[in-house]
């Protein structure tokens, strides 16, 4: 088999699942006609053979390094998926990727409807990957060095208002759902952290419990009076043997998954007319209410489990109500 035939067969295999029979036949005919005009020689370097396994091996090594650094399995899967999608689209060795390859890839994604925020996340992942490959001397130069961050509009993500929070409280029918609401609001914990908790993790005497956050870091979160009341009542009503703090209401009472928390809260919000109800909004609300009532921002950072205070500041800037009241008080 000569090089032209090998190229044609490789392209056809790549497009096998993307095109129908007629399109595949037309593509094959076009490649045969076009490549027939050229003399292609492997030895001259016009075609640089490589296997996708070589790229996969590099990505696997990178993921192993990030695993040791403590990234969560969810983050690792996301990194692997984004990097492999890019390398598959480029169809070339990691060492041959250029700055323009990355720019073109991101431009096509945005042209096809991907948001600037998502494209910037992809760029961030590729940036960390190629920075690592350059440091490991797998490539000579990091191709992302001259690519600037993609600018996008930062929309304010509002917390619940006090009236919305009371609407949700009044709409909760089951003791479990009341306990979930109060726990999310009192602790400001991530829903993934709450889903992983066991009954034994809660210390009602000290009014606190330990959660394991991003990077396998543990921290204390604290229970207010309403949270303690509804959580104790919920646990006293349970007759299952599951160690999980929150379980499904129907037998056999499995540990409540993240998706179940989200679905439960979304339904409650829809039922009582409060829009955009999801677990993370309780986290934002807890932070905003704490800041509004004078809690130092560094303590709010600790409560939320943020490494950088800049992340916590994103919660502080949403409190327009407080700014408006201060304006009325001071700008007269």
Structure tokens at 81: 């998926």
pLDDT exceeds cutoff 60 at 81? yes
Sign of CA dihedral 311, 313, 317, 318: positive
Query: Token pair for residue 288?
Result: 């905003």
User: 138 with 190: CB under 8 angstroms?
Assistant: no
Exposed/middle/buried for 291, CB within 10 Å: 0-12, 13-18, 19+? Answer: buried
Model-wide pTM > 0.75: no
Choose the most confident range, by mean pLDDT, from 39-53, 176-190, 301-315: 176-190
Torsion angle in degrees (nearest 10) through CA of 289, 295, 297, 301? -70
In percent, how much of the chain has pLDDT > 70? 86
Residue 36 reports pLDDT greater than 80:
no
Contact 287, 315 (CB under 8 A): yes
Average pLDDT of span 176-189: 96
What pLDDT does residue 320 have? 58
**52-135 has which CATH code?**
1.10.150.130
Q: Report the pLDDT value the prediction gives residue 98, as an integer from 0 to 100.
A: 92
> Which residue in 134, 152, 156 sits closest to 143, CA to CA?
134
List alpha helices for the chain, DSSP H.
Answer: 3-15, 21-35, 52-68, 73-90, 99-111, 116-135, 162-171, 175-187, 191-195, 225-237, 258-272, 279-292, 297-304, 309-316, 320-330
Confidence tier at 183 by pLDDT (50, 70, 90): very high
Q: What is the tens place of the pLDDT at every residue in 104-134?
A: 999 999 899 888 889 999 999 999 999 999 9
87: pLDDT strictly greater than 70: yes
- Flag the least confident range among 2-6, 83-87, 261-265, 297-301: 2-6
Question: Residue 43 pLDDT more than 70?
Answer: no
- Give dist(CA 57, CA 16) in Å, integer: 25
Q: What is the pLDDT of residue 220?
A: 93
Q: Where are the domains of the chain?
A: 52-135, 162-330
- The pLDDT assigned to 45 comes to 45
Least confidently predicted of 186-190, 199-203, 322-326: 322-326
Q: Average pLDDT for residues 196-221, to the nearest whole number? A: 90
**pLDDT recorded at residue 129:** 96
Chain position carrying tokens 């992983």: 196
8 pLDDT band (50/70/90 cuts)? confident
User: Which CATH code, of 1.10.10.10, 3.90.1010.10, 3.90.1150.10, 1.10.443.10, is assigned to 162-330?
Assistant: 1.10.443.10
Domains 52-135 and 162-330 share a fold: no
Torsion angle, alpha carbons of 305, 310, 311, 315, to 10: 110
Please indicate whether residue 13 or residue 288 has the higher confidence score (pLDDT). 288
Q: What's 256's DSSP letter?
A: P
> What is the model's pLDDT at position 139?
93
Higher pLDDT, 74 or 153: 74
Which residues are CB-contacts of 70 (< 8 A; sequence separation ≥ 6)?
215, 216
261-279 burial by CB neighbour count: b if 16+ within 10 A, else e?
beebbeebbeebebeebeb
For residues 244 and 257, give the distance between their C-alpha atoms in angstroms, rounded to a whole number.
10
Q: Give the model confidence (pLDDT) of 126-149 as tens digits.
A: 999 999 999 999 999 999 999 988
Residue 159: is its pLDDT beyond 70?
A: yes
Query: The dihedral of CA 231, 234, 239, 243: what is its sign?
Result: negative
pLDDT band with cut points at 50, 70 and 90 for residue 326? low
| pLDDT of 38 strictly over 70 | no
Give the Cα separation of 207 and 237 in Å (integer): 20
Q: What is the mean pLDDT of the chain?
A: 86
Share of the chain above pLDDT 90, in %: 55
Position 101 pLDDT exceeds 70:
yes
């Amino acid at each position: 088999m000569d090089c032209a035939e090998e190229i044609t067969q490789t392209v056809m295999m790549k497009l096998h699942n993307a095109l129908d029979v007629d399109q595949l036949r037309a593509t094959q005919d076009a490649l045969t006609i076009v490549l027939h005009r050229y003399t292609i020689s492997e030895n001259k370097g016009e075609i640089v053979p490589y296997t996708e396994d070589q790229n996969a091996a590099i990505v696997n090594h990178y993921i192993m390094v990030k695993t040791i650094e403590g990234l969560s399995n969810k983050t690792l899967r996301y990194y692997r998926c984004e990097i492999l999608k890019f390398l598959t689209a480029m169809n070339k060795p990691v060492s041959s990727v250029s700055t323009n390859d990355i720019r073109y890839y991101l431009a096509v994604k945005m042209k096809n409807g991907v948001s600037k925020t998502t494209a910037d996340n992809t760029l961030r992942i590729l940036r960390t990957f190629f920075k690592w490959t350059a440091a490991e001397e797998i490539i000579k130069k990091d191709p992302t060095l001259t690519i600037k961050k993609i600018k996008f509009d930062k929309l304010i993500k509002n917390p619940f208002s006090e009236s919305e929070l009371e609407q949700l409280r009044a709409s909760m029918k089951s003791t479990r759902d009341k306990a979930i609401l109060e726990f999310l609001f009192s602790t400001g914990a991530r829903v993934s952290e709450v889903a992983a908790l066991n009954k034994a993790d809660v210390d009602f005497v000290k009014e606190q419990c330990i959660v394991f956050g991003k990077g396998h870091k543990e921290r204390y979160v604290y229970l207010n009076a309403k949270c303690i009341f509804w959580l104790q009542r919920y646990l006293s009503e349970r007759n299952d043997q599951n160690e999980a703090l929150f379980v499904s209401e129907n037998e056999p009472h499995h540990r409540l998954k993240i998706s179940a928390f989200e679905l439960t809260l979304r339904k409650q919000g829809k039922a009582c007319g409060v829009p955009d109800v999801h677990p993370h909004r309780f986290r934002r609300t807890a932070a905003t209410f704490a800041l509004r009532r004078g809690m130092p921002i560094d303590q709010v950072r600790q409560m939320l489990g943020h490494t950088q205070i800049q992340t916590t500041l994103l919660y502080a800037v949403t409190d327009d109500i407080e700014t408006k009241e201060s304006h009325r008080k001071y700008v007269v």
